[in-house]
Amino acid sequence: MDQNKKIKVLFVCMGNICRSPTADAVFRHIVNTAGMGHMIEVDSAGTHAYHIGNPPDHRAQHTALQRGYKMDELRARAVQSSDFEEFDYILAMDNENLALLRQRSPQHHHGKIQLFMQYGENTPATIEVPDPYFGGQQGFEQVLDMVEEASRGLLVHLRNHKI
């Protein structure tokens, strides 16, 4: 692999205000803590343009901040066609968004579009990160637990296979 080329990871959910910005903030923190920020670029986006330009949901921010993850600088954006070319890993939070991404992408990019939880160390690869938007605080805690687990597993994968 070209040592000067960063690995680019895109996290995707529906509106880009709960799950994918949480994954963005957590994975970015884990990467930077590991001293690998110069090797890995992280971003997030949504399959729907509901919240473009908005910060992450205040409940997601609050939950993340309690564990030391800051995400108030993130702003929602929609997946662009250029993302399929630009990113090496496009990680969907659930099967609905996985299907939408595969519908919108050229066939030759389907291999880089995966469920995020396939990198979870203690979870079946088919598990989805549930959308906490219409639920209570417990849903945001559950999402954060899942995202932390899969983020650790993704970093191990990248160390073992790509970097």
User: Catalytic residues, which ones?
Assistant: 13, 19, 131
First CA to last CA across the chain, in angstroms? 8
Q: Does residue 113 sit in helix, strand or coil?
A: strand
H-run or E-run covering 86: helix 81-86
- Cα–Cα distances (Å) from 124 to 9, 93, 132, 143, in that order, read 21, 14, 20, 15
Q: Does residue 57 sit in helix, strand or coil?
A: coil
CA angle 47–18–157, rounded 5-degree value: 80
Q: Does residue 88 sit in helix, strand or coil?
A: coil
